[in-house]
Structure 1
Amino acid sequence: MIINRIRTFAIASILAFSAATGSAQDLLARQAPVDRRSAAADTIVLQSLRHREEMENPSSDLYPTWENRYAHKATPMPDVYRIDLRGFCMPTPSRVITSNFGRRWGRWHKGLDIKVYIGDTIRAAFSGKVRIVDYEASGYGKYIVIRHNNGLETIYGHLSKQIVTENQYVRAGQPIGLGGNTGRSTGSHLHFETRLCGVALNPALMFDFPNQDVTGDFYTYRSSTIDDESAQATAARGKASSRGYSRENIQGNGQISHGNINHNAVRRQAQPRRTENEQANSGAQMRYYRVEAGETLENVAEKCGVSVEKLCNLNHFGRFTVVRKGQLVRYS
């Protein structure tokens, strides 16, 4: 009798446990769709908050403050930083570079000069927030500074008209101003700068104006190699690679309807850089010499068989420019 009772109790316990387990599984099964919906809702909320933060203060992880007083003010710079170039728009359809980034007339030129005509449409290179709309008589003239979500700030100088306001959010390709000849300028053109943490980077590292494209989906800034890369970028995509200085070599006159963005943003991987020898042999008129430690302009001129004056003219150097080890100097 006792054995039968024990057996009955054991069977009843097993059945009760099975029923409880089944009920728990049913509860979990019913709860799973709710959890998935909650997770999806949380993701949407986070994305919305992130988008709102980017619109209010782009690249807040790089820049400690948002202020409208200085066109550029150097802040702590990372040794390595990856810049997303996707979703870009060329600021102008002009292919003609009239002045390179670097030493020019005894002072540093911290952007590219692109040939445009007064009234040509200038567009935001990336989406971002307008930080400054101002006028500088002895420099930029009428200019605009935009901070972008990829960490860059772009500056557009010598405009004839600004058509955006400070703290306005703009999309890539949105018209922001008109080409002009204001400020310290000797002819109508767009002065275009790209800066990271307030430090000027050669736009030719990222933008290929002659081919109306960017150099790749991403550009990785490295403090250890930036000087060499900048010189190579100028040699490959700077003034010497432009196809002349006339309206015929400018695609249209810049008057493009609103929203006509460069759709090459959805395209190929970065093209491989040409080697220094390939650059030198690509045309009889362009040859470069890499400076060695301790060399001066006089040493370079003697080794290359040209005059110091010719080096200065070809590279926009001053007579007493100090060249650095590893720097590429054009000598023909």
Structure 2
Amino acid sequence: MLVSILPGYAQRKNNNKSKSKDFFKPKSPQIKYVRPDTTVLIKYEDYPDDKSDAGKSVPFNPAKKLSIVNEDTSSLDLGQQSIVEMSEEVLVDSTWIKVAGYYYIWDTKNINPYQMDGRQIKEEIPLKLVDAANKRYSKMPLIQTPVTSDFGFRGYRWHYGTDLDLDTGDSVRAVFDGVVRISKWDGSGYGNYLVVRHYNGLETLYGHLKQAIVKTGQYVKAGELIGWGGSTGRSTGPHLHFEVRYQGNPLDPERVYDFPDYALMSEEFKISAALFNYYNQTKRSSSRSRASSARRVVSHKIRSGDTLSGIAKRYGVSVSQLTRLNGISSRTTLRPGRSIRIK
């Protein structure tokens, strides 16, 4: 969790305009790889039946701690995982002052290196999503945010984010200030994707990008361009797969964002165990999916005279769903004898 611990410096009057400009200016965090005295390393529990990062990112069992070690963690085979010292500074009267320094897991490969079971949270944890005093604000990930798929069980697997419609090449932007932790390719899942760790305690994931234009360790501001939308990885059409996570645990983005109204639900958010009770359902769903090798797909065999609007009306779905599932546009000519996927 990238947390800024900033003292409440009072604004002071200063007739010198050059000094007042740089008073209380935040500096991007310095990431320094170190050899700490002690730390706790966490064991991974991956599912062998899913090769994508998406299938490995959510723990269904309580974390198992390994022994405390006193060694350089870069020698351990943990997928580029290291312990780093996060150092934060603010500019006060033209002098940089260190206000926070702490050790933290910094993993550039695994979406969830924390292995903290969100159901074990004892008390509500308040997060300040917008911090106007330190000029940290919120932006939306796209210019428009029409939802095409919600957080929850979808088809034969759990969907850990919200899908937002876009056209290939659309701008994708960081939603809060933070540091890029992962910039990676996941061919059987997220495609090109980014994970950004934010000052407010959350992490956000941006999947199926055509191209990411920021690098691991790069500091980004809310609203900054971080990539171009696309349909890479396991995707049936251009869209942004958007996740919100706390300590590796996905939560429903629509609890944080009101996408139709294009705004945050609130400038503050409370993390509680109740947000992650869906884990019990995903475990049952995962067991059922492994017990059956088939998934349910509804298709329609195209006949002469069929139109997308007519097919959509017949099956009670939208035209946009048909175009997304089949990778076509609303102007595509339907050829009799071929099949079109409905669900």
Alignment correspondent of 2:199: 149
**Aligned residue number for residue 164 of structure 2:** 114
CA distance in 1, matches of 2:172, 2:151: 20
Point out the more displaced range, 50-59 or 181-190: 50-59
Alignment of 1:13-162 (within 5 A): 51=27, 53=29, 57=86, 64-76=104-116, 77=118, 78-79=121-122, 80-86=124-130, 87-162=137-212
Contact persistence 1:58–1:128 (CA under 8 A): no
Answer whether contact 1:58 1:148 (CA < 8 A) is retained: no
How far apart are 1:106 and its partner, in Å? Answer: 1.9
2:28 and 2:219 in contact (8 A); partners too? no
171-180 vs 59-68, which deviates more?
59-68
> Residues of 2 paired with 1:142 and 1:163: CA distance?
11
Q: Unaligned 5+ residue runs, structure 1?
A: 1-35, 37-46, 229-243, 247-315, 317-332
Q: Aligned equivalents of 1:63 and 1:103: distance in 2?
A: 36
Q: Which of the pair is proportionally richer in strand?
A: 2
1:188 paired residue number: 238
Name the CA shift for 1:62/1:90 in 2 (closer, same or farther; >3 Å): farther
**5+ residue gaps in structure 2?**
1-11, 13-23, 33-85, 89-99, 131-136, 279-317, 321-342
The answer as to whether partners of 1:58 and 1:149 remain within 8 angstroms in 2 is no
For the 8 Å contact 1:58–1:147, the answer to whether it is kept is: no
| In 2, Cα distance between equivalents of 1:180 and 1:95 | 15
Identity over the aligned pairs, expressed in percent?
39
Task: Report the structure number with the largest CA radius of gyration.
Answer: 1
Q: Where do 1:163-202 residues align within 5 Å?
A: 163-202=213-252
Distance 1:114 1:159 in 2: 12
Q: Is the 8 A contact 1:124 1:176 kept in 2?
A: yes
Mapping of 1:205-284 within 5 angstroms?
Answer: 205-224=255-274, 227=277
- Contact kept, 8 Å, 2:183 with 2:216, in 1: the verdict is yes
Deviation of the 1:74 alpha carbon: 3.8
1:158-208 Cα deviation digits (max 9, x unpaired): 000111111000000000001100000000000000000000010001011
Change in Cα spacing, 1:209 to 1:128, as seen in structure 2 (3 Å) is same
CA 1:74/1:105 → structure 2, altered by over 3 Å: closer, same or farther? farther
Alpha-carbon distance, 1:85 to partner: 2.1
Q: Deviations over 1:206-249 (max 9, x none)?
A: 01111100001101111136559xxxxxxxxxxxxxxx876xxx
Higher RCO (CA-CA < 8 Å; seq separation 6+) = 1
Question: 1:178, 1:226 → 2: CA distance?
Answer: 30
**Structure 1 residue 155: Cα displacement:** 0.3
Q: Given residue 209 of structure 2, which amino acid in structure 1 is its aligned partner?
A: L
Q: What CA distance in whole angstroms lies between the structure 1 residues aligned with 2:196 and 2:145? A: 22
